[in-house]
Every structure is written in structure tokens, then in C-alpha cells.
Structure 1
Amino acid sequence: MARKTLHRNCGMMLIALVLVAGIRSGMFFDGDIYGVGASFGVLLLLMMGTKRHGEIQGQEIRGIGMMPGLVNLDKGLRVVLGCICGMILMYVLHAIGRPLSLEGTMKEIILWGSYGSFAAVAWRICREGDGLRMMQAGWHLMGAVLCGSALLAVYGLLELPYGIYHTADADISATGARLGGLLQYPNTFGAVMAAFLLERLFALPSVLRTRTGTLRAAAALLPLLPYTAALLLTESRGAWLAAALACAAGFAQERRAFAPLLVAAAAPLASAALLYRQLAEAKLAPAVLPGLLWLAGLWAGGVLAGLLLCRWRHSGGPWRRYAAPGALGAAALLAATAGAVILHQVQDRTLGGAATLSARRLMYSDAWQLARSSLWLGRGGETWRQSYLAIQSQPYVGAEVHSGYMDILLNAGLIGLLLVLVLVSFIVAGLIAVNSRLMPAAFVLIGHAAVDFDWSFGLVWLLLLWLTVMCFAAASSGREVQNGPIAAQRRKPFKIGKKLLAVYGGNRGYRPLLSLPLLRVTAIVLLGGWFLLAAALGISEVKERWAASEPSGPQIALLQSSLKWNPANTEAALNLADWLPPSQRIPLLKRSLVYAPNHPGLSWKLAEAYSLRGESEEAAAWYIAAIDRDRFNDVKQTRAVLKLAALADWHRTGGDPARSVEVARAGMDILMRYRALAVDFREMDDHRNDREFDLSMLAARQANRLGKMLNGEHEKHAARQPMKAEISARR
């Protein structure tokens, strides 16, 4: 009874935490990462510290209750946790060294620790039949929350400030609006909806049999329309393609399931296509009552039509031999009609979108050049975010590199990428080996991450691990529907693992290896340290957010407290610097630069602080450094020229002509580099200018001003005329 109670309570807490991760933007923002991550750590510590570990883990091997899931631990969890621990070790090594961002590196440690904690707890819970059913119910609840909240926002029944993305750019949206749901990003939300849709789609063969009750069959068909509609409303071509490939892989695995799936799912999918067209034409803002009636009618009609097609396929009588082909033909016609409706709605975006693809190519090219600088080990967490402004070949917008695998390569190098590839390859191979219906759902998450930054959302990794745990647990307990001899492929512990778990098991004088006090204490200390790190970073983030709504006095105190909890919090340092005089601002910014040496914002604030103090040489040096770290920022380029020109005037009026000339020369050098960059950019044959970079009129006018200080009054136009001849200013 105690064991069941503990499993039930831990399962409910685990599901609640993942629901929180989904509701909080998919665990994308730092504050959510630290809060949810620390909670996962608490849950794992709770299971490790239970006094009833002997009852929980079984009586065969005592003492292993300190680490959930290690009893009868099979190859699956060993590989999963091994790869996760390898990634944590990679980031720990970076944190000990000098990463591009210590805060970003620590964030990755928290993230991967969260994934490991979730996998360990979920695996232990799923080893019990009731726990597995609870996790399966939690999966459906997660899908209902994500999909239901998005559709309710479409009909105006739920307020999601960033749930719908509006744009007039036809390359981004064919209809002017895209659904992002709680994740606030349509592409990743589309991949997640595709995963839930495919999980339900490939669950149909085990439900829709000849003797299946009508209510049970209707319940099985019920989720198809909302998941499909949500997927279509994201207008994510990558998610659509990944879903199609994953669906094809699922049919290749279970060829006999194609006909019954097509017959059962064609009508709900066709209804979803009609719903998508109606909502897309309304730009995701339909009239509430007519829209809800249309939704209810299509939903009910799709389910009923699916049930009728299934019954037609299995009907008897004199026309029995024609029933199955007739139903299959009708289903194929419905599916083709649905495809035509969808393609007609988005044909311009589906066949176009060259600008988006060119941006991805530029980004991947720049990311590869950056990765080559530290190919084996990477540069730590947030490498792209800290570096892309300095290395981008054209002024595109992209604080996230649109490939999860490329992001891993930048952060952890080839070694980290190899660990991730081993992890995802093992997941896919394991799902295929047990003939799991969950394989397509996992495949779509793994595949879409190659072309977008899905893995920046912690929820995506949690869902992938959730699928893996449910699959292996169901296969182990015999609940997975399998064909032929594959059903005998139950997981067996490795002999080596047994030897490691129990040294001289028959001798009472020796205890299991993992029950040794030193290993027990080490495991607790490491997990406790990780939890404290997550808690400290979380408190720092909370104080920084609180400070934004406070007046100056309390805001300064909160920001200072935030930096005490996390000295590497660059956003808190930048916000605090705005409230401090230059004499206090400079030491603060220099301390922050130790933790993020390439941060463009810190360099810029430092240059501004030196200019306020009149230290022109230092200001010029930091202006150059800040511009080098954000090349295509014409606002910074212009302001740097203006500030240095003002400092040169100040030195000249103060009777220091030598320093005036030096500062003017530095300003002219920045201006000439700015002009040369603008010239080179304009001469590119095919370029994109998302940041609207160009030589500003205000900066161009400073050439005459700086020329006076360098060459004298009689040459007041000499420095300006060549610039006019070479390039015209934009403003």
C-alpha cells in the first residue's frame, strides 16, 4: 500500500511539473527552467531519501533505493542517463574553464539535470502497472491542455497574449496569422501537435477492431480533429514535412495498419481540413458562436463519418466482398480532398518561401564557421546567442540558431553532438525494436529539431523522454501490442550490469556496489549541489523580474541581491548599471564581462560609462570592441561616432588638442569602417537586410566635423566629399 501511495503521489507531482513546464512557455525562459528544474530535483531527492526504499525497490537487492530505477535496470535507462550525465559533465568542464557565457552554461547544466531527473523518476513510476497507466493518462492530459488552450484562444475564450502570431509577410504566413499556443512559437508548437496527433493515430489499430464498442471507437477518433487543426493552423512547413515523414515511417513499420488507419482517420482529418480553411480565412479570429457551432458540427460529423466507414469496411451481407475496397476508396477520396483543401489554402507559402530558406542557409553557414573555432568541445551554453551578432555575414535576425543539432555542436562540440546522436539513435532504435506505436511521435520531435530550435524548449525533451519511458515500460510489462516473434523481445539486464550491481552476491559479507555509503553520499551530494545551483539561479531570476516593477530605490536593492545570488546574471548587471553613476558602473560591468567576455551589451554599456567620465581613450577602445561584437547595428555605429566627435570637441575646448586629435582619429576610423561595411554590403548580389542596416545620414555628417579636428579649418569639406562619391547615406 505504501509503495502504491508513493508511486501515485510521485506520478501526480511529476505530471503536474510537466504541465507547469508546458503552461510556462514550454520551459523556454530562464526563470521557468530554474523553477521547474529545481522542482524535478526535489522530487528525485524525495524518492532517493524515502525511508521505505526497501519496499519500493523490492527485496532482491537491498540498499539501491537511494537511486530510483537502478533495480533491474536495463540497457534503456543506462544509455539514456549515461548520455545525459555525459552532457552535464561537458558543461561542467566548460563552467570550470572560461565559456562564452557562464550563465548560459549553468542553464544547460540545470536543463540536462532536469531531463535526467525526469527520466529517472518517470522510469521508476512506469515500472508499476498503475504508474504506467498514470503516465499514459498524463500524456493525454498534456496534449489536451496544449491543444485545447490554443483552440480556445482562437475562439477568444482564453486570453493568450502571444498565442497567435500575426504578420503581413506572405513568406511567413499565407493567411496572416499562425497559431503558437502556449509555446508562443508556431513551428515548435506544430511539431508538438504532430507528435500528439501521430501518437493517437497509430493507437487506432489496437482500438478499432470489429468488436470494439461504439463509444470506445468514438473516443479513439475524438482527438484527431483538434490535433490536426492545431497542426495545420501553425502553418509550419517543417512540422508538416516531419509529420509526413514520421507517418510514412510508421506505416513502413506496420504495413498492415495502413488500410484500417486510412478508413478510420480520413473523415476526421477531412473535417480538420475544412475547419482549418474556415479559421484561416477568418485570420484566426472567427465569430465566437457561429465558429463554435461550426467546430462542433465538423467535429461530430468527422467522428460519425469515421465510425460509419469502419462499420462499412467490416459489414457483412451479399456485398461483403466489396465492403472493404469500397470503404477504402471512400476514405482515400476524403483524404485526397482534405489534401487539396489544405494545399489550395497555402499554395503560395508552400511553393514559395525562398527568403526564409535563404536565411536558414546563411545562419547555418555562419554557425558552421563559428563551430570550427572550437570543433571538439564547443564554447559552452548560449554560444550562438553570445556570438552571432559578431560573426553574421549579413544582418539577419536570429538569436536562436534554427537547428537543435547545430546548437549542440556550438555549445558542446562534436563530443556533445555525438552524445546527443547516441541518445536519439538509441531512442529510435529501441522504439523500432519493440515495434512501438510511439515511434512516429518520437520521430517527429527528433526530426523537426534538425531544422528549428525545438530543443531550446525544455518541454520538447521532456515529451521525447516521456514517450521513451512509456514505450520501454509497456514493452517490459507486455502491454505493447506486437506482431509475431517480436513480442518475445523483452528487455533483459546485462550480465555485466548484474556483476556491477552485486559483487559476490552470494556472500553475505559483501554488499551491492551501489549501496556503498561513499557512492550513496556522492549521489546525494551531487544531486543536492545541482538543486542548490538551480535554486540560486532561480532566486536571482525572480529578483530581477521583481525589480522591473519597482521604483528606483527598491529596484537597485533587488538587482544587487539578484547579482549576489548569481553574479553571472548579465541582464541584472545591465539593468543595475543604468541606475549607478559611472564610477560604480564601470567596476560592475567589468566584473560581469568576466562571466560573459563576448557580450555585446556589456561592452557597449562600458563604452558609454567611460564616455560619461570623459575617459576618451578607454571609451574609444570599448566602442570599437562593442561594434566588433555587433557589426550590423547602425544605431551603435552612429552613436559611437557622435560620442567620440563630442569628446574630441570637449578636449579641444578644454585646451588639450593632442587628445582631441587622437579621439577624432578613433572616431574617423570607426566611421570609415562603418562606411566600408555599408559599401561591401550594398555590393552583395543577393543579400537580406532584416535589421535595415545602412550608413546613416547623421553618421555621414560627422566626417566634416572630425575632419576639422584632424586637418584644420581650411579642409573642412575634404573628409566629407569622398564619402559622398562612394556611397550615399540612407538617413
Structure 2
Amino acid sequence: MAAFLLERLMRLARMERAAFTREGGWRGQRAGALALLFALGLLLSESRGALAAALAGWAAGLALLRGPERRRYVRHSAVFAGAAAVLARGLAAAQLAPAPGAGALALAAVLAAALLASALVAGALPRSRPPAAGLRRAACACGGAALLLAAPLAALPESAGFLGRGFRPETASARAAMYADAAALLRRSPWLGQGGDTWRHAFRSIQSLPYVGSEVHSGYLDLALDLGLIGLSFVLLWLGVLAIPLLRARSALLPPYLALLLHSAVDFDLSYGLVWLLLLSAAAIGIAEAREDRLRFPPRPTLASGGPLPDAAWFLPWLVRGAFAVVAAMLLLLSVSGYREAESQRLHRQALALPPQANREAAELLQRSLALSPYRTAARLALAERSAPQEAASLLRAGLRYEPECSELWLALGRALAREGDPAAAEALRRSVELDRFDRVKQTTALRELSQLAQSLQASGHLRQAETAASAGADLYADYSRLAEAVAGAPTSRNDRAFLLTEEAMELGRQLQQQSHPLTRNALK
């Protein structure tokens, strides 16, 4: 919304008065109507980062323009920002669902007033007789002001908290914690990165607060984690090179381009393909417009027109054929890979849709799904649930080769080993908790499995191993209780995951503490 708004404002600033008349096709009014809608969408997002990026882009536009264009830019901006604020306040009071009649009336009134004021800014009124023109301007200005004042009455009552919600501090603490955690994660491999989706796979193992955030809320930090500082430098250099022609041509698309880049610094925009398409489109259109205005190349002679080809052009057909062959090969590989992935997902969904009685058929479908896509953790976990403990443990260990820091795989492995009575389950469960320590369900499950493992080992006569398992569970409970106490003692911090010490965990903790005392000595007595 910010990028589209800035583009419309820049176009409006460079439109002469003829664009706001019938002869000009009412281009100014059409651009103004879109500007109002974009400004309204931006305000309703209540995104402080987007607003800050929009203001920075607006300042860049102000610096690019000169003379009358700059004055029109400022006035158009004031008109549509004020009109959008009036509509946004009413919509926020109605929780974005106003009564149809009142909402339509408010929209029509504010839109008419904004377009009228925009035409006044552009000086589109006729100037045949100065007295009549002055009276007409005064009447139009009074009418526009009256419409702007009446619009809030046509809408629902204003929301006193609309402006206040823009200054909420809740997200700031979580955002700062995310950035600090991302910096710590980046230090593990600062130059070359750790591969795709690093934050999504690793943030739960390093998060300092129980926030929910599978995105790091910074496109550049995300690129640094994936590609390293070297890869990020190449990307920034490329984006900077694209901006140079826009700056030289004082292009109307430079402010939107800058707004998208700036907002990506405080949000996860760069993880969406749409933002890349907008950036490339803005650069390409801006450069093309600059070339149309400044450059006129005559057509080069060709063999068809009787002129000779350049000496170095003989290799061009071969170059085109080679490029086509490379692209075709890449598309073929992607098609095969995409087919295997799609088929794997289809088999996985088909297995999950089967009833519990068809466990054998579901296991066969999941095995076929994994054969097509062996790194699919969800299918691996579903197959492990339907397998014997020993087979499940082998299956899960194979999955850890693809995702060694997947908490779910470690938890499933710990449960499978615990069912076998294998003391190695304690280490797997501990690793699962370490990788996702703010998950109260995993914490409680790990304690439950360790308690049952200690009881099973004690019943089978392996007293020392039972004591070791119980001691590991008691240590996990002590860490869990301290962490929950620290989160509860900081009420101002974010706790999006509702992390707390569960009642079941407290009961299991007491049992593990009792079991971890010298069981061997009691048995000898």
C-alpha cells in the first residue's frame, strides 16, 4: 500500500491541470481515487514499520521534485492523507464492518471531497473571469470542507483508541528479542550462512523469550542467516545498482522502490515473491521510462535490410541456443523434482485420511511418500507413529541426518527409545527440550516419558539405570521450573506461546525427585 500510494502521489504531482478535465480523460481523478484507497489501506494496517517506510519514501519524493511539482506533491499528500484518516477512524470504530448505508455514504462523501480538493490543488478550475473563478473556488473549498466535517457523522462514532494503537509497545520487545537472537544465530556462520530457512528451523532452539515468530521480521537478517554476510552484500549491491538509474532520472518509481527496501529491514517482506516482483518491476519500468525520455537509438542495419551484420554477431544464434538449452534443462529438472514432491504430499494426505483400522495401508503409503521425498519430516513422524519402537527409532535417526535440530524428531526418538526401555531415551528427550524449551507440551511430555522409563527400568531390575533416568528427569524439571518462574516474573515481556509450569509437570517432577534418590539402597534393604 505504501509503495502504490507513493507512486500515485508522484504521478499526481507531475500532472498538469489538463489531466483533471474531460479533455484529459479525468486521469487526475482516477489517480486520486486510487491514492485514497492505498492511503486508507496503509492506515488500517496499523503497521508502524510500513508507515515509517512510507514517510521515508515520501521524503525521497520531496527531494526529487522541484518547483510547482514539489508544491503539488505536498498538497496532494495532505489531501489524501487527511481523507484517509477520516475514513480509517470510522472504520476502526466499526471494527472494519460499518453499516452498508452509512459506510457507503461516508466513502462517497470523503472521496468526492478529496477529489475536489485534489483538483483545486492542480488548479483545474477555469480562469476565464477572475471574479467568477474566485467565487467558484471559494464555494468548492467550503463544500469540500463541509463534506470532510460531515463524513465522520455519516460513519460510525470515532474510535478513541485508533491513534493509540499505533504506539503499542507490545511488539517492540518481541522484535528486539528476535533481532538479538538472530544476531546470536548469525555468529555461528557469519560469512557463508547456514542454508535456506535457517531462522524457521532454528529459532526455537535459541529464542530468549517465548515469542511466536517463524519469520525474523527483517528481510536482510533472514538473507544473512541463509546466505551469510557475503551473500547479503551481493544482494544489497545488486539492489543499489538497480536504484542508480532511477535516481539519475528522478523517476517517480524511486520512492516506492525505497519504501519497499526500507520496510523489508523491519519486516519479512523479502521472503515473499511479490515484493521481489514489485522491486524488479519498479526498477525496470523506471529505467524504461528514463530511456524513452532521453535516448533514441536508430535501428541497426541487418542482412534483411541490406546492411551487414557486425563482425562479432556470428555467435549470437549459438549463444541463444545454448541459453535456451540450459533453461530447458533446468525446467526439466525442476519439473521432475516438483512432480516427486507433489506426489509425496498426495500420498501423505491420502495416508492421513485413512481410518485407524487401515494402519498397514497408511504405513505403506507413508513409506512411498518418504521414498519420493526423504526429507519430509511430517511424513517421517507419521510413519514412526505407526511403526514398532525399534523400526521407529531407526527411521527417526535417519531423519535427523536431514534435520539434526528438529525438536519433534528428537522427541519422537526419545519416546520410541523409552518404549523399548533404552536408557538412551533420556538424552534424546533432553535434546528435544533444549531445541524448544518454551514449549510446555514438550517439557511435560519429556518428564512423563522419563518417569515411565524409570519405573519400567526399576521394575525390570535395572536399578542404577532407573536412578539415572529419574535423575535426568529431575534435572529437566528443575530447569523447566526455573524457566517458567523467570517468564512469570517478567510480566512485561512477550509470552505469545503461553509458556508456564503445568500441573502435570509439577506432579511428575515430585515423582522424579523421589525416584532419583538412592533406589538401589532401598532395594537392598
Q: Give TM class, smaller chain.
A: 0.7 to 0.9
Q: Does 1:291 align with 2:103?
A: yes
Contact 1:266 1:332 in 2 (8 A): no
- Could you tell me which of 135, 152, 165 is aligned with 1:349? 165
1:409 to partner: Cα distance: 0.7
- Could you tell me which of 336, 347, 350 is aligned with 1:532? 336
- Could you tell me which of 447, 455, 461 is aligned with 1:655? 461
After superposition, the CA RMSD in angstroms is: 3.8
CA distance in 2, matches of 1:519, 1:706: 66
Q: Does 1:506 align with 2:311?
A: yes
1:668 to partner: Cα distance: 2.0
Q: Does 1:360 align with 2:175?
A: yes
CA distance in 2, matches of 1:392, 1:430: 41
Q: Does 1:247 align with 2:54?
A: no
- 1:393 partner letter: S
CA distance in 2, matches of 1:513, 1:527: 21
1:411 to partner: Cα distance: 0.7
Partner of 2:372: 565
CA distance in 2, matches of 1:310, 1:505: 51
Q: CA offsets per residue over residues 102-150 of structure 1, 9 Å max, x none?
A: xxxxxxxxxxxxxxxxxxxxxxxxxxxxxxxxxxxxxxxxxxxxxxxxx
Alignment of 1:690-729 (within 5 A): 690-711=496-517
- 1:422 partner letter: L
Q: Does 1:200 align with 2:8?
A: yes
Residues 647, 361 of structure 1: alpha-carbon distance in 2 compared, 3 angstrom cutoff: same
1:365 to partner: Cα distance: 0.7
CA distance in 2, matches of 1:609, 1:226: 56
Alignment of 1:448-527 (within 5 A): 448-478=263-293, 487=294, 505-506=310-311, 511-512=315-316, 515=319, 521-527=325-331
Q: Does 1:646 align with 2:452?
A: yes
Contact 1:395 1:632 in 2 (8 A): yes
CA distance in 2, matches of 1:454, 1:521: 33
CA distance in 2, matches of 1:679, 1:211: 66
Partner of 2:44: 233
Larger relative contact order (CA 8 Å, sep ≥ 6): 1
Residues 704, 241 of structure 1: alpha-carbon distance in 2 compared, 3 angstrom cutoff: closer
Alignment of 1:82-101 (within 5 A): none
- 2:58 partner letter: C
Contact 2:21 2:124 in 1 (8 A): no
1:635 to partner: Cα distance: 2.4
1:543 to partner: Cα distance: 4.8
Residues 665, 378 of structure 1: alpha-carbon distance in 2 compared, 3 angstrom cutoff: same
CA distance in 2, matches of 1:713, 1:544: 46
1:515 to partner: Cα distance: 1.9
- 2:445 partner letter: R
Residues 507, 685 of structure 1: alpha-carbon distance in 2 compared, 3 angstrom cutoff: closer
Partner of 2:306: none
Contact 1:405 1:449 in 2 (8 A): yes
Residues 211, 224 of structure 1: alpha-carbon distance in 2 compared, 3 angstrom cutoff: closer
Contact 1:633 1:693 in 2 (8 A): yes
Q: Does 1:627 align with 2:442?
A: no
Contact 1:505 1:512 in 2 (8 A): no
Partner of 1:595: 402
CA distance in 1, matches of 2:312, 2:116: 65
CA distance in 1, matches of 2:64, 2:449: 66
Q: Does 1:307 align with 2:119?
A: yes
Contact 2:72 2:121 in 1 (8 A): no
Q: CA offsets per residue over residues 511-552 of structure 1, 9 Å max, x none?
A: 239628666544432343244334433444455456555545
Residues 641, 427 of structure 1: alpha-carbon distance in 2 compared, 3 angstrom cutoff: same
- Could you tell me which of 218, 227, 232 is aligned with 1:412? 227
Q: What is the percent sequence identity of the aligned residues?
A: 35
CA distance in 1, matches of 2:286, 2:510: 72
Residues 518, 427 of structure 1: alpha-carbon distance in 2 compared, 3 angstrom cutoff: closer
Q: TM-score if structure 2 supplies the norm length?
A: 0.83
- 2:271 partner letter: S
Report the secondary structure of 1:373's partner residue. Answer: coil
CA distance in 2, matches of 1:316, 1:695: 80
Residues 581, 322 of structure 1: alpha-carbon distance in 2 compared, 3 angstrom cutoff: farther
Contact 2:92 2:159 in 1 (8 A): no
Partner of 1:24: none
1:311 to partner: Cα distance: 3.9
Partner of 2:246: 431
Report the secondary structure of 1:452's partner residue. Answer: coil
Report the secondary structure of 1:374's partner residue. Answer: coil
Contact 1:385 1:399 in 2 (8 A): yes
Partner of 1:371: 186
Contact 1:559 1:573 in 2 (8 A): yes
Q: TM-score if structure 1 supplies the norm length?
A: 0.61
CA distance in 2, matches of 1:386, 1:662: 31
Q: Does 1:440 align with 2:255?
A: yes
Contact 2:90 2:159 in 1 (8 A): no
Instruction: Tell me which structure has the larger Cα radius of gyration.
Output: 2
Q: CA offsets per residue over residues 611-638 of structure 1, 9 Å max, x none?
A: 22332x1211110110110122232222
Partner of 2:82: 270
1:599 to partner: Cα distance: 1.1
Q: Tell me how many residue pairs correspond in the alignment.
A: 499
Contact 2:407 2:435 in 1 (8 A): yes
Contact 1:363 1:392 in 2 (8 A): yes
CA distance in 1, matches of 2:122, 2:189: 57
- 2:255 partner letter: P
1:331 to partner: Cα distance: 13
1:376 to partner: Cα distance: 0.2
Alignment of 1:129-208 (within 5 A): 193-208=1-16
- Could you tell me which of 371, 386, 394 is aligned with 2:209? 394
- 1:218 partner letter: Q
Q: Gaps (5+ residues) in structure 1?
A: 1-192, 479-486, 493-503, 717-731
Contact 2:467 2:518 in 1 (8 A): no
1:431 to partner: Cα distance: 1.6
Contact 1:229 1:275 in 2 (8 A): yes
CA distance in 1, matches of 2:92, 2:442: 40
CA distance in 1, matches of 2:487, 2:281: 47
CA distance in 1, matches of 2:19, 2:165: 44
CA distance in 1, matches of 2:255, 2:207: 36
